[in-house]
Structure 1
Amino acid sequence: MSEPAQSNLNKQFANVASNYRGSDIDLHAVYRDMRQNSPVLEDNFMERLGVPSIAGLDANRPTFTLFKYDDVMTVMRDATHFTNGFIAEGLGAFFDGLILTAMDGEAHKNIRNLLQPIFMPETVNRWKETKIDRVIREEYIKPMVAAKSADLMDFALYFPIRVIYSLIGFPEDRPEEIEQYAAWALAILAGPQVDPEKAAAARGAAMEAAKALYEVVKVVVAERRAKGATGDDLISRLICAQYEGRSLDDHEIATFVRSLLPAASETTTRTFGTLMVLLLENPDVLERVRQDRSLVNKAIDESVRLEPVATFKVRQTSEDTVIRGVAIPKGAMVQCIVSSANRDEDAFEQADTFNIDRRAKPSFGFGFGPHMCIGQFVAKTEINCALNAILDLMPNIRLDPSKPAPEIVGAQLRGPHHVHVIWD
């Protein structure tokens, strides 16, 4: 990979992190206070923190913010009374076409039923054996071993991009092009801005990036279709997918794949980084996981509960409703603070503790209900492979005492910027 491609990707990743960082405050302490004193707040709480939120798109719509587990659960599981269609107003300019997150009702259900089988464990486990594990070990971890030190976030930025673009069906012999596509995907994420002076430029850059990404995806879709779509890659499987006689055209496939890309690598990067911080800060837990790999997925799930990357979700009311005695009118925006709900003392014992032995209970790091992240099993499988490879090939991995300790930061798109480690 050339230096410009690498530096552009690093720069875009840093820009996105900065855009969603928010106020420099103890967020978990603030959320604790809100759960106790203002569990339903009539205000756009994220905007208060200086974080762009799709809830603020239309100033004429009131916004309500929820902090308690049960309230967030109620909203996330009820797609009839708390809808997603408004998302197309904000993303529509970036993603016309097939946007699962912006669909409601039967249309959403039918398209999801068509897509879901492609993301089920049977398919992803086959990818794990043929691609994911091999790429992570052979192309990334093994070449790092001799150095005996690294910033794991350098690895974390690149391996999910390499893996997901390979699974999607992009040619594997053009890594510099893939880095450019990934930078475009990050530019789309940086589109929403709080600062009006930056907003126009960022929106323009996001529009250009979205158009460029669509064009390259559509070329790959057309190539796959022309060759009979016989491969096991995501695009070939999307071409062949059918549900009740319905299949997807090239435009729908290209827009769906493009809508996956901003989150597909970004979320995996930050989730992996956060998992490693939590394990490295708890060496006894790390050793238990090293000795018993059946604990890997429990560690992933608990890190997603404790420090989710996507810290809030937004829905719109389809009719007047009441939550905890607060009247919320039809058409209002409802902002669900996932980071707060995941640490609700009424839902989780010792909620601020990283406990991989915790009894399984739904949390909201990958969403919940009908709009739960369709690609979460892919992301978890990538992270599982990465952690297993590290535990196999980097003995006695630990935080580097000569470097700054890692910090998990950000009011949205939360995660560490650096994770400096050494090993024997």
Structure 2
Amino acid sequence: MTISTADQLRDFIRTADDSAYVESAAAETPRSRIVDLYGPLAAARRRAPVHPMTQAALIGQDDYRTQKEFTKASFSCVLSFEHCQQALTDERLSSRFWDETIGQVWGHTIIGMDGSEHRQHRALISQAFTRRSLRRWQETAIVPAVNGLIDRFEKNGSADLYREFTLLFPVYIITEMMGLPFTDIERFNTWAGETVAAFYDMETAKEASKKLERYLSPLIEERRGGTGEDLITLLANAELDGGRLETIDIVSFLRLLLPAGGETTARSTASMLLGLLQSPEQLQAVISNRTLLPQAIEEGLRWEPPLMSISRIALDDLVLGDVEVQQGSVLEISLGAANRDHTRWDDADSFNIFREKKPHIAFAWGPHTCLGAHLARAEMSAALTALFDRLPGLRLDPDTGQQARVQGIGLRAPNKVPVVFESR
């Protein structure tokens, strides 16, 4: 009998040693341990929707190193849902902030592009993220990845779903989507993880970025004109009006994929799980009625978006929320504060899957809405489905669950998600 790729991936994951990656990804810093962001931000939002300072300053913290590089620029922080939406669609605000900071590591990517350049690159990259591709990845990557990880601990009766599950399944999904050999997964993930050090260790991040470019460039060239259905081949063969993505364009996008696509999905899923586990009635409602899964996912994304803010540079002088924003200054758009805006959602700080449906901005808004949002939702749905199907009696660990909390000021995630269940 021929073993399918899905079976091979599941078998590989079942016994893979990814402990080094987990230790790196779960490492805490003083900034990542900060729990209460929303109280200070809500108090600030009640005073005004826009403030002439960074989000970190609003909660009494030092600015990020990437923000400090803009020594001659003034900063403003947008806190209300209405004004964040407005800022995300204002063409006078440029995304090039990313290029001038972490772009030094990840390269020139669509998150740092504006106007026609952004539209063209987004259209080319979108050709790889079709419904057909999503259905294929569901079978070949998403389902085997989540099940391979659950295979490791379903007989134990307990697990930390953050370290043993949510941190890992997006990583294996992405590497399978790219069609990487199993033997290369560990070093690829190590390099990709090190690029996130751009926020605090630029030299390590730059060196990892070079290693990724040296590894990925030959793969891209080998797959141009090929018939494979992996992500690298699809990107290499994408064409629009005779235009194609250059090798460096694809390298830059793939370097971005693990931190921007993998880490955010890992953190979103962990926060959503903790929200459900801390609300046993809602958890049981979703387990009993899987049509509630989309509501749980959207509420999790609203309640604790993985990325607290994104930044834009003003191309012209403008006024937002009675604050004068000068040309060249930086506007920090607080997605987290906007998604907790009490003028838009009743009891906005509570996790409630039954609340009135309203769009959130966890995936941003406007032309830069996250390209992988549908993939992330599919991954989160598959993760919950597998956990609920395979771990009967799933509940928060009564001994250690009270210490679980969502934390961080830039990227948000639980410190742990300890659970118990009936072992099989």
Q: What does residue 399 of structure 1 align with?
A: 396
Q: Secondary structure at the match of 1:367?
A: coil
The answer on 1:128 being equivalent to 2:138 is yes
The alpha-carbon deviation at position 39 of structure 1 amounts to 2.4
Tell me which residue corresponds to 2:9. none
Task: Tell me whether 1:46 sits opposite 2:56 in the alignment.
Answer: yes
Q: Which residue of the partner structure matches residue 160 of structure 2?
A: 151
* 1:28-177 equivalent positions in 2, closer than 5 A: 28-47=38-57, 48-52=60-64, 54-78=66-90, 80-96=91-107, 98-137=108-147, 139-153=148-162, 154-171=164-181, 173-174=182-183, 177=184
Which residue in the other structure is 2:213 paired with? 214
CA distance in 1, matches of 2:99, 2:172: 29
Instruction: Kindly provide the amino acid, as one letter, of the partner of residue 64 in structure 2.
Output: P
For 1:186, the equivalent position in structure 2 comes to 193
Cα distance in 2, alignment partners of residues 363 and 357 from structure 1: 15
For residues 169 and 411 of structure 1, the distance between their equivalents in structure 2, rounded to whole angstroms, comes to 34
1:223 shift after superposition: 2.9
2:289 matched residue in structure 1? 292
In the alignment, which of 360, 376, 380 is matched to residue 379 of structure 1? 376
**1:146-172, Cα deviation, whole Å (9 max, x unpaired):** 11111111222221111111012212x
- 3-state secondary structure, aligned to 1:191: helix
The 8 Å contact of residues 46 and 53 in structure 1, kept in 2 or not, is answered as no
Is the partner of 1:335 in helix, strand or coil? strand
Q: CA deviation digits over 1:203-253, x for unaligned, max 9?
A: 11011111111222223223323xx42121111111121112211232221
SS of the residue corresponding to residue 162 of structure 1 reads helix
Bigger shift: residues 29-38 or 44-53: 44-53
Paired AA for residue 386 in structure 1:
A
- Note if contact 1:51-1:411 (Cα within 8 Å) is conserved in structure 2: no
Q: Distance in 2 between matches of 1:401 and 1:204?
A: 43
1:222 corresponds to which letter in structure 2?
A: E
2:221 alignment partner, SS class: helix
The residue identity in structure 1 corresponding to 2:193 is L
The equivalences for 1:334-413 within 5 A come to: 334-405=331-402, 406-413=404-411
Q: Which deviates more from structure 2 when the two are superposed, residues 387-396 or residues 209-218? A: 209-218
Q: Which residue of 1 aligns with 2:6?
A: none
Q: Aligned ranges for residues 220-231 of structure 1 at < 5 Å?
A: 220-225=219-224, 228-231=225-228
Q: Distance in 2 between matches of 1:404 and 1:301?
A: 23
- Partner residue, 2:7: none
Give the whole-Å Cα distance in 1 for the aligned partners of 2:31 and 2:294: 28
Write the distance in 2 (CA, Å) between the matches of 1:374 and 1:337.
19
Query: How many pairs were matched up?
Result: 406
What is the rounded CA distance, in whole Å, between the counterparts of 1:239 and 1:323 in structure 2?
41
Amino acid at match of 1:125: R
What is the letter of the counterpart of residue 81 of structure 1? R
Q: 1:321 aligns with which of 318, 322, 346?
A: 318
Identical counterparts, % of pairs: 30
Which residue of the partner structure matches residue 306 of structure 1? 303
Does the 8 A contact of 2:102 with 2:199 survive in 1? no
Aligned-residue offset at 1:123: 2.1
Change (3 A) 1:19 1:234: farther
Distance 1:151 1:412 in 2: 23
Which whole-Å CA distance do the structure 2 matches of 1:340 and 1:263 have between them? 20
- Cα deviation digits, residues 385-423 of structure 1 (max 9, x gap): 111000001011001112243111111110112111111
Q: Pick one of 27, 43, 60 that aligns with 2:37.
A: 27
Greater mean deviation of Cα atoms: 115-124 or 61-70: 115-124
Q: 1:208 to 1:336 in 2, by over 3 A?
A: same
The secondary structure found in structure 1 opposite 2:387 is helix
Note if contact 2:272-2:300 (Cα within 8 Å) is conserved in structure 1: yes
Shift of 1:18: 2.0
> How many Å separate the matches in 1 of 2:65 and 2:82?
22
1:241 and 1:297 mapped to 2: Cα distance? Answer: 31
Deviation, 1:105, is 0.8
Q: Report SS of the residue matched to 2:239.
A: coil
Match of 2:242 in 1: 245
TM-score by length of 1: 0.90
Q: How far off its partner does 1:257 sit?
A: 1.1
Deviation, structure 1 residue 51? 5.0
Which secondary structure state, in structure 1, belongs to the residue aligned with residue 244 of structure 2?
coil
Q: Which amino acid aligns with 1:77?
A: T
Deviation string, structure 1 residues 108-145 (Cα, Å, up to 9, x no partner): 011111112322434212211333113322x1223422
CA drift of 1:4 comes to 12
**Cα–Cα, structure 1 residues 314 and 54, in superposed 2: closer, same or farther, change >3 Å?**
farther
Structure 1: which 5+ runs fail to align?
Answer: 194-201
Cα displacement (A) at 1:5: 6.6
Aligned to 1:415: 413
Partners of 1:287 and 1:107 lie apart in 2 by: 47
Is 1:54–1:314's contact at 8 Å kept on the other side of the alignment?
no
Distance 1:324 1:418 in 2: 38
